[in-house]
Amino acid sequence: MMTYKNTVVVLVLLFSLVMKGQEKDKNLPEGNEAFNEKNYMDAETNYRISASKFPKKSSSYYNLGNTIYTINQPAEAKFAYQNAIKNATTRTEKHQAFHNLGNVFMKEKNYQGAVAIYKEALINNPSDEETRYNYALAKKMLKENPPPKDDKKNDKEKDKKKEQDKKEKDDKKDDKKDGDKDKKDDKGDKDKDKKDDKGKGQPKPQEGQISKQRLENLLDAVNNEEKRVQEKVNAQKVKGKPVETEKDW
């Protein structure tokens, strides 16, 4: 059961929240007045107080960014514009914050970033000719002044290429060694084949083929038979020769 004391505490809290909700931002208009009077120090102070009291108010960050940019502190202005974009609730607020953030990038000569930011500004307000002009100018400056290449990235790519070249070179050496080994093995196999095939060039006696010794014997027999036949023929010639007689005149 809620006691009287607890009830009083709850009522006090509710009253404080209502009063805070009804609290007006006095610093924002005071900052605007100081800015118009070119009293940038007071303007910055009031805008910072406004942003701290009303952190969800985009206009406080946007005006703070404008003040800081005017006194040539683009890095801080960039942070203020980013908060303005984060808390913006309308396309108009987003367009204005993106446009001025693009100006910061242009001042820093970050043309690549400026192109991207101006593009976002145009998405929120395509009809703004000033943003369109700045966008075209940023693209032109980017083309004439391309961003420098990342040396670390280039070094990594060079190291990677060297490593790849070394690997390919090692692979070639290994292939050459394997090739020499294969040649050596082929040579060894050929020598072995020669050793195994030694004598294969000489014809082997085939079945039914006359041996050399037998051939010589046959030739001798033929010669002897021819000699014997010749002697017999000669003997017959002598035997059949007619006896010479006296002529009958």
CATH number, domain containing residue 83: 1.25.40.10
What phi, psi does 85 have (nearest 5°)?
-65, -40
Please give the residue range of the domain that contains residue 37.
27-144
Q: Would residue 118 count as lying in a domain?
A: yes
Cα angle for residues 11, 16, 18 (degrees, 5° grid): 95
Query: Which tokens is 97 given?
Result: 């914050």
DSSP assignment of 26-61: -HHHHHHHHHHTT-HHHHHHHHHHHHHH-TT-HHHH
CB within 8 Å of 60: residues ≥ 6 apart: 25, 28, 47, 50, 51, 54
Q: Whole-angstrom Cα distance, residue 30 to residue 126?
A: 32
Please indicate, yes or no, whether the overall pTM of this predicted structure exceeds 0.85: no
Element (H, E) at 137: helix 129-144
Tens digit of each residue's pLDDT (9 = 90 or more) over 8-38: 444 344 444 444 555 799 999 999 999 999 9
Structure tokens at 170: 């090692």
Please indicate, yes or no, if residue 66 is contained in any of the structural domains: yes
Residue 159 confidence (pLDDT): 72
The gap between the terminal CA atoms of the chain, to the nearest Å, is: 200
The whole-angstrom separation of Cα 249 and Cα 220 is 54
69, two tokens: 């940019």
Answer yes or no: is 231 within a domain: no
User: Which residues in the chain land under pLDDT 70?
Assistant: 1-22, 150-157, 171, 173-212, 214-215, 217-218, 221-222, 225-226, 229, 232-249
Q: Report the C-alpha gap between 17 and 10 in whole angstroms.
A: 11
- Can you give the pLDDT at residue 185? 58
**Which residue, 60, 140, 62, 59, is CA-closest to 101?**
62
Is 96 inside any structural domain?
yes
Has residue 236 been placed in a domain? no
**What pLDDT does residue 231 have?**
72
User: Total domain count for the chain?
Assistant: 1
In a domain, 61, yes or no: yes
Per-residue model confidence (pLDDT) at position 140: 96
Residue whose structure tokens are 């000719």? 129
Report the pLDDT value the prediction gives residue 249, as an integer from 0 to 100.
Answer: 31
Residue 165 maps to a domain: no
Task: Answer for the pair 89, 109: CB distance below 8 angstroms, yes or no.
Answer: no
Which candidate, 118, 154, 168, places its Cα nearest to that of 139? 118
Asked if residue 34 belongs to a domain, the reply is yes
- Tell me, what's the pLDDT at 198? 42
